[in-house]
Each structure stands twice: as C-alpha cells, then as structure tokens.
Structure 1
Amino acid sequence: MKSLKKTALVLAVAGLPLAAQAELKPLEDTHMGNITGQAGVTIELETKVNIGEFKYTDEGSLSIRDISIGGANRTDLFEEITDPAIRNMAFGTTSDLIDNIKVEIDVAADGDALINVWPLTAAPIDFGISTGEWTLEGQTDTTLLANNFSMVGAVTKLGLTVDTATDTLNLNTMFGISDLDVDIPFLALGIRDLKLTGDQYLENPGILTIGATVDMDIYNGTRANGGDALAIDLNTFKADMTVGQVLVGGTSIGSLTIDNLAVQNTAMRIYGH
C-alpha cells in the first residue's frame, strides 16, 4: 500500500512543470494515509412512470388503475405569483417528465446516510400525478371510492437522513400543490382546485413560500401492547390550503380557505392484526 501511494504521487508530479515541482516537498506515509477523495455520489435524474393497476389484497382488495407520475407539463402553476420574470424562470419550461432533479447521497463520518434532492436549476421540481378509478372489491360487491384524480405541484426541498444513533429515518421536505381535483362517487362529493402551499403563501405568494413544511421521523416503535410497530412521528406540518369548489351531488356549495394550519407532535403506530 505504501509503494502504491508513492507511485501515484510520482505519476502526478511528473506531469507538473519544473518550476512547480521545485516547490513540492515529500509527504510522510502517515500524512498520505489521511488524504481521501471527495465523498458522496450525485445522480441527475429525469423520469416518467405509468402503472396500469396497483392492487392491495387482504380478504378483499383495493385497486387503483391508470396511475401516471411525471412532470406537471403546465406553465400556470401557482398563478398567484405574477412577476413575469419569476414565472418564466420557475414555470416557463414544460415537460411531462419529472426532471430538473439532482440527488446527492453521502455517508457521514458517524455512519448517518444523507440523501438530499435538489433542483438542477433555480426552478422548483414540478410534478404531476393522475389516476383512474379507486375501487374496493369483495367477493360479490364493489365500491367506486374515487375517480378522476389529478394533482400538479412542485417540490422545493427533500431531505432524508438515516440516523445510526437512533435507527430513525427523518424526512424533511417542502412541497406545494398548485391544483388537485378528485371525484368521490360513493359520497357524491367532488373537490376542485385544491391548493396546498406554505403557511405564508396567502399573505405573500412567491417561490420561497409555495412549499408546505413537513418534518417527520419513521422508525421501529412500540405499540400499546408492547409489540413492534411502524412508528411515524409528525414533528411539524405547516401549510395554507384553499379549495376552489366543493361539489355535492354535482353542484358547488362554495369554497374553503385554511390559513396558517399547523400540526405538531403527532404520533402514529401502524401494525397488522
């Protein structure tokens, strides 16, 4: 190993001008052993996903059909932001791909895994999700839970940390929903133009305020009887929300606004039975 390090150094020095070589001094092997390369991996990504059907089966089943996940492919996201220069920078380019993504993966000195998702440019990462029918199916009967689901929005921050000291996965993200529509036939309900943003968006719409804040921990926890459970602790959720129309029986009964919504210190334990 010592000879390998020295050989690599000699090859590198050989390519330098003589004047530069004159300023070089040899390093001891103990010092060379502390030299490492740049840590981490960066992945640039663009993708689109289509799924014909997702089905969860217990005794009966829940089926979701015609799932599509990609880019928003719209220039009218978060229309309350009216500055033309900002709109062109943030939403001027359309695509049906989830793109403009850079994923950085690092392992810290203490063993923690750090995964951060950033936009490649100054624009947020836009997304679009749509589905067909959501159906409950038994041996003889079915119920159409939801249909015509569509959602477009943008992610401004996504961070995942696996903490080796606590065996906890922390999720820290900021995302906004510009438009969500869905029909819920078995209740004769419909939602139109639902918008979810940061908790300061209604007062000050802008790129820095479009993201609702989510901070949660996920880990192997303990349920009430002492057994294992999937534990989800919602540390913080902050958002503004508006609904353009609430439909009942196909007729609008009005709109909704929720300002400065804050949900904190919420714990869930999930397990089979």
Structure 2
Amino acid sequence: MAFTPLDEVAMGNITGQAGVTIELETRLNIDRFIYTDEGSLEINDIFIGGANRTDMFSEMNINLNGDANDRLDNIRVNIDIARDGDAIINLLPISFNAVDFRMSTGAWNLTGTGGNTTILDNFKVDMLIGSGTIRVDTATDTVRFLTDIAIDDMDFDIPFLAMGIRDLQLTGANYDLSAPQPLRLFANVDLEIFKGANAAGVDVLAIEMASFEADLRIGGVLIGGTSIGSVAMDNLAITDTSLRIYGH
C-alpha cells in the first residue's frame, strides 16, 4: 500500500469543506428519574419519541407528520464551525415537513420522611417542531437557542389539588383557527444561555428571553374530575425574562 502526501492546495480544499450532518431517529424510555436533596423528586415512566399520529392540527386538513410512528425521526442535524470559531448546530426536518414529538410521564412524586405526595401525573404532550438552532458564540461566551414549536395537545393531572388540564394547545400569536396557515402555526422560542452574575455578584447559570408570543387554548379545566369550562389566551406575550440559577 502506498500513501500520497497532500500538498497545501489539497489540504486547503479539505479544510474548506462543509461540516458534519447527522440524520437522527430514536426513541427514549426511562423507568424512573430521581433527584435527591434531603428528600427526593421521582418522575416515573418517561417516554420521548414520535407522536404516532396523523391528525395533529386537523383544522388544516393536511398530514404534517408523514408516516406516523412512535420514533423521534425526520431530523437532520448540521454541525458547522464558522471562521470566527462559533459552533453552529442546525436542526432541520429531513423532508419538507415538521417533526412530530411526544413526551409522556407517569407520576411525579415528592418523597421524604414525612410521606409521599403526587404533584403531577398522566402528563402527555404532542407537538410539532419546525426547526431549531444552537449557536455557541466565542466572542460573547453565549449559547443562543432558537426553535419553532406548536403544541397540539397537552394533558396532565395535579392530584394533590384535584385538578386536571385537558386539550391544551399552543400556537403562534397570529395563527387563526378559522383560516389556518402552516407558516403561522409555530411560536418562536429564542433563549440566550450564558454565565452571569446573581444578586450577590456570584457567577451562575443565566438564561434570558427577550420575548415570547403565542396563543394558548385549554379545552377543559377539571376540578374534582369535572370540567368547569375552557380557557383561551389570545396574543400572550412574555417579555424581558431573566433567570439566574444556582445552588443554595
């Protein structure tokens, strides 16, 4: 076997090529997730995968999901390093389609010496993801996370309050149910994640969101197992949101 050394021109051509592409298909199950401080929070029966439905946002009368299955698929991940050193991770559908996503869990239990309390149960969310981008900026040491989401159906129970939520939908603020348009379906999420200072001047995990706008509809609010009616929020706007997260 013989090896031919690369000259400078050939090396330059290799360096100048595009980045890495990953096509993803997966399904995730976790029997139990436990976070322990003095007591514990247990989340049971976690599932992450495809929604396995062809009727999401049925008012559009189109199949947004392609072949329905319980796998998180139709995802292409493009990874590039820009000339200035920024890492750019771009998540796109493989076909011109949205990515269908489901997450469900069983009981969320608080446990300790005083006993057990179920704070959440029967959680399920079916949603569509239009796109996503993660950019690590070397000049500012900031991670910027952008995605477009639309929730078709979210259900959960809050047993210790005898409450439940059914048929929660979240869409873009300009989405009109009577004249639905796919490009207006999604609500945009834009987060910046970085090292920032808390009130005491200590470096902590910082998360900031300049604005978030969406329409929110809840088909049924249950009290004691009986619906007391529905709720709608038109043009919900959350602005100038800043979080500082640290231990105590």
TM-score by length of 1: 0.85
Q: Does 1:62 align with 2:34?
A: no
Q: Which of the pair is proportionally richer in strand? A: 2
Larger-gyration structure (1/2): 1
Cα offset, 1:91, TM superposition: 2.9
Aligned residue among 222, 227, 232 for 1:252: 227
Q: Secondary structure at the match of 2:46?
A: strand
Letter in 1 for 2:241: T
Q: Secondary structure at the match of 2:78?
A: strand
Cα offset, 1:92, TM superposition: 4.3
Q: Does 1:270 align with 2:245?
A: yes
Q: State the partner residue of 2:6.
A: 5
Q: State the partner residue of 2:50.
A: 71
Q: State the partner residue of 1:231.
A: 206
Percent of paired sites with the same residue? 51
Indicate conservation of the 8 Å contact 2:65/2:99, yes or no.
no
Indicate conservation of the 8 Å contact 1:244/1:256, yes or no.
yes
Structure 1, unpaired ranges of 5+: 7-28
Q: State the partner residue of 1:201.
A: 175
Q: Does 1:218 align with 2:193?
A: yes
Aligned-partner Cα distance in 2 for 1:60–1:202:
46
- The farther-off stretch of 158-167 and 263-272 is 263-272
Cα offset, 1:125, TM superposition: 0.3
Q: State the partner residue of 1:114.
A: 88
- The farther-off stretch of 106-115 and 206-215 is 206-215
Indicate conservation of the 8 Å contact 1:202/1:259, yes or no.
no
**How many residues end up aligned between the 2 structures?**
243
Indicate conservation of the 8 Å contact 1:102/1:118, yes or no.
yes
Q: State the partner residue of 2:97.
A: 123
- Written as runs of structure 1 = structure 2, the 5 A alignment for 1:126-145 is 126-145=100-119
Letter in 2 for 1:126: D
Aligned residue among 63, 73, 95 for 1:99: 73
Q: Does 1:160 align with 2:151?
A: no
Aligned-partner Cα distance in 1 for 2:95–2:113:
51
Aligned-partner Cα distance in 1 for 2:85–2:66:
40
Q: State the partner residue of 1:10.
A: none
Q: Secondary structure at the match of 2:205?
A: strand
- RMSD (CA atoms): 1.5
Cα offset, 1:177, TM superposition: 0.7
- The farther-off stretch of 32-41 and 63-72 is 32-41
Alpha-carbon displacement from aligned partner over 1:113-139 (angstroms, at most 9, x marks no partner): 000100001110001111100000112
Q: Which of the pair is proportionally richer in helix? A: 1
Indicate conservation of the 8 Å contact 2:147/2:190, yes or no.
yes
- Written as runs of structure 1 = structure 2, the 5 A alignment for 1:4-43 is 4-5=5-6, 34-35=12-13, 36-43=15-22
Alpha-carbon displacement from aligned partner over 1:81-130 (angstroms, at most 9, x marks no partner): 13xxxx13x23420100000000000000000000100001110001111
Cα offset, 1:39, TM superposition: 2.4
Aligned-partner Cα distance in 1 for 2:197–2:54:
46
Letter in 1 for 2:54: T
Indicate conservation of the 8 Å contact 1:213/1:236, yes or no.
no
Aligned-partner Cα distance in 2 for 1:179–1:32:
53
Aligned-partner Cα distance in 2 for 1:144–1:32:
62
- The farther-off stretch of 35-44 and 72-81 is 35-44
